[in-house]
Structure 1
Amino acid sequence: MNITIRKESSEDIDATTALTAAAFEHEEHSSHTEQFIVNALRRSKQLTISLVAVENDKIVGHVALSPVSISSGATDWYGLGPISVRPDRQKKGIGSALMHAALAELKRLGGAGCVLLGDPDYYCRFGFKVQPGLTLEGVPPEYFQALSLNGDCPVGSVQYQAAFDATE
């Protein structure tokens, strides 16, 4: 596998949008709005980290991170997602490479931690786990996980950016 991970450029947006739509097209637990969410994050200048995985000059993966707010007042926490890999390139290590690169970039930027909504069996390999007292309203608690990058995990209710309500 010859994958390069780099920051997304403006020339990548159309390819990233198509890739994200394709990656979630057949996912039963998806809202099928992930591509709209990423574009809304861009428009609102809340897309803090946007990385692409490139293979043979084609974008095969993308990951987005944006700030979240926590009711306790904890700062510098981010939500990871969506993370997308082209369907025919899934289960080849591209998602893992994107995760490692995104978390390294978040550490470099001084992020305190990261939350995500996803399969605990997959994300535990990156250090994510359910944190008692840290919640996301309306989702089963076993799927909402966090990773502290500099110490204790805060307690409180997490709120994602308004862009996560995007439907087009």
Structure 2
Amino acid sequence: MNLKILIRNEADADVDAISEVTAAAFKTLEISSHTEQFIINALRAAKALTVSLVAEVDGRVIGHIAFSPVAISDGTRNWYGLGPISVLPEYQRQDVGKALIREGLSRLKNINAQGCCLVGHPDYYKKFGFRNITGLGIEGVPQELFFVLSFDGHTPQGTVTFHDAFKANG
């Protein structure tokens, strides 16, 4: 099936749909604590959603991606965390996530971001240029699940801290 996917900035009217898409996307994932929709709402409330995009098909929100600032212990600035990213289960494996990631990374570059990092599946994110590196990570996260993509050739060293909104749980 070849979907006509529209990727656009989230609008106020999308908030409930984004929560529903996110909850549905993570519902059956064992690695999830099922708080992703709360994280997005907390990022939005803190005005920390630097880039927040929805994927729409026939006027229906079917996917969402969030990017928010991260802190890096070496003082490097202008790096962002990717996540959560969500696609309704019935639209997964149809390039919706790829479209969201590509557009989101493009928008980060347009605001002069220096790089992006994430915690994710080891096989998926490498196709976008993300890689595991030594010397940069998140406490408590296995190195093989932490990925970085530098936009300017400089890769920070130290510990990454995602926004406090990632502690939201309800």
Above 0.5 in TM-score?
yes
**Given residue 13 of structure 1, which amino acid in structure 2 is its aligned partner?**
V
1:136-147 paired onto structure 2 within 5 Å: 136-147=138-149
Distance in structure 2 (CA, Å) of the matches to 1:123 and 1:16: 22
Query: Tell me, which stretches of 5 or more residues in structure 2 are unaligned?
Result: none
Distance in structure 1 (CA, Å) of the matches to 2:43 and 2:16: 15
Distance in structure 2 (CA, Å) of the matches to 1:162 and 1:90: 29
- Give the drift of 1:87: 0.6
Distance in structure 2 (CA, Å) of the matches to 1:83 and 1:131: 22
Distance in structure 1 (CA, Å) of the matches to 2:135 and 2:164: 23
TM-score by length of 1: 0.99
**Given residue 31 of structure 2, which amino acid in structure 1 is its aligned partner?**
H
1:1-168 paired onto structure 2 within 5 Å: 1-168=3-170
Q: List structure 1 runs of 4+ shifted beyond 4 angstroms.
A: none
Distance in structure 2 (CA, Å) of the matches to 1:79 and 1:135: 12
Q: Do 1:64 and 1:83's aligned partners in 2 also have CA atoms closer than 8 Å? A: yes
- Give the drift of 1:152: 1.6
Distance in structure 1 (CA, Å) of the matches to 2:16 and 2:160: 30
Of all paired residues, the percent bearing the same amino acid is 51
- Give the drift of 1:67: 0.2
TM-score by length of 2: 0.98
Distance in structure 1 (CA, Å) of the matches to 2:5 and 2:23: 21
Distance in structure 2 (CA, Å) of the matches to 1:106 and 1:31: 27
- Give the drift of 1:135: 1.0
Count of paired positions:
168
Distance in structure 2 (CA, Å) of the matches to 1:101 and 1:84: 14
